[in-house]
Amino acid sequence: MLGWAEACLSQQGIEESRLNAELLLAHATRCSRLELFLARNSTLAADQARCFTQCVLRRSKHEPLQYILGDTEFMGLTLGVDSRVLIPRPETELLVERALEAISAFGGGRMRILDIGAGSGNIAIAIGKRIPTAEIVAIDISPDALQVADLNLIRHGLKNVTLLEGDIFADLLRGQMFHMIVSNPPYVSVEEFAALQPEVKDYEPRNATTDNGDGLAFVRRIAAYARERLLPGGMLLVEIGYNQSFTAKEVFASAGLSDVHLFDDLAGIPRVVTGRSIAPIEGSA
């Protein structure tokens, strides 16, 4: 069965076809890959064979492996995912890491943090787990995405994250101010979206991937929004595309943010842009 699956996936251009086959078989048999290896001469039960075959056929059509398995790893946390949400990427871990460093520099405490575009809840949950004293509001325009995020909050037992449905730019949080705003917005341009691999283009939610424009529409709107909603010295952190660093820095500066910096991902690509509101928070680093 593993040999058949590997060949089937390889013929359809699936990278790491053997690994995919092993993960799908472990899923179908509800065991770990190690247990699968130790039981390599075992015979599959009929229901296991049917489940495995269905999973392989789904993957052969380039449906993301994470959607088939039903979960993924992010910052050491297991999160449920399906086609209602974008699959969390390793690049977004850099965004969270920079946020955690900034929170530490602020001295922690009862910081108010806004996550624009909650998706699966990965950013809010990763921060909330590590900073239990933080008060986090995670907003998303998609009720479907928030259903997934809510299940992940329950899964991790978090009480310091509040989910909110709606358009952040409709001033749903009138009068509320934050020490930090974080966001992984749709930053793929419409031209780049057309060239994406089918796993992304055909399966992941389009409105969480592209702004149907130049990829910077939400960066501009979020920077302008942060200027009005950050407390003095507060920080904005936004994930950006591989070719957007120069323009993103200009956008932050034009929005009146200071101390603008870029941070590279593991591939050396500028992936996160940060900036501060002008006046420092009293007692902050």
Verify that 123 and 196 share a domain, yes or no: yes
List, for residues 142-160, the tens digit of each pLDDT value: 999 999 999 999 999 999 9
> Is the distance from CB of 120 to CB of 81 less than 8 angstroms?
yes
Verify that 47 and 86 share a domain, yes or no: no
> Is the distance from CB of 275 to CB of 235 less than 8 angstroms?
yes
Verify that 137 and 25 share a domain, yes or no: no
Verify that 54 and 81 share a domain, yes or no: no
Single-letter code of the amino acid located at 221: R
Interatomic CA distance for residues 17 and 8, integer angstroms:
8
Total residues belonging to the chain: 285
pLDDT at position 224 is 95
- Domain end (from 12, 28, 61): 61
147 assigned to some structural domain: yes
Single-letter code of the amino acid located at 148: V
Verify that 56 and 78 share a domain, yes or no: no
Q: How many domains does the chain have?
A: 2
Which residues contact residue 16 at a Cβ distance below 8 angstroms, ignoring those fewer than 6 apart? none
Verify that 11 and 116 share a domain, yes or no: no
pLDDT at position 171 is 81
Return the CATH number at 130. Answer: 3.40.50.150
pLDDT at position 282 is 47
The string over 144-167, giving b where at least 16 C-beta atoms fall within 10 Å of a residue's C-beta and e elsewhere, is ebbebbeebbeebebebbebeeee
195 assigned to some structural domain: yes
Domain that holds residue 21: 2-61
Verify that 17 and 118 share a domain, yes or no: no
Verify that 156 and 265 share a domain, yes or no: yes
Single-letter code of the amino acid located at 82: D
Verify that 50 and 103 share a domain, yes or no: no
> Is the distance from CB of 201 to CB of 193 less than 8 angstroms?
yes
Task: Check: pTM over 0.75? Answer yes or no.
Answer: yes
- Domain end (from 18, 34, 61): 61
- pLDDT under 70: residue ranges of the chain: 108, 279-285
Verify that 83 and 11 share a domain, yes or no: no
Structure tokens at 61: 């059509």
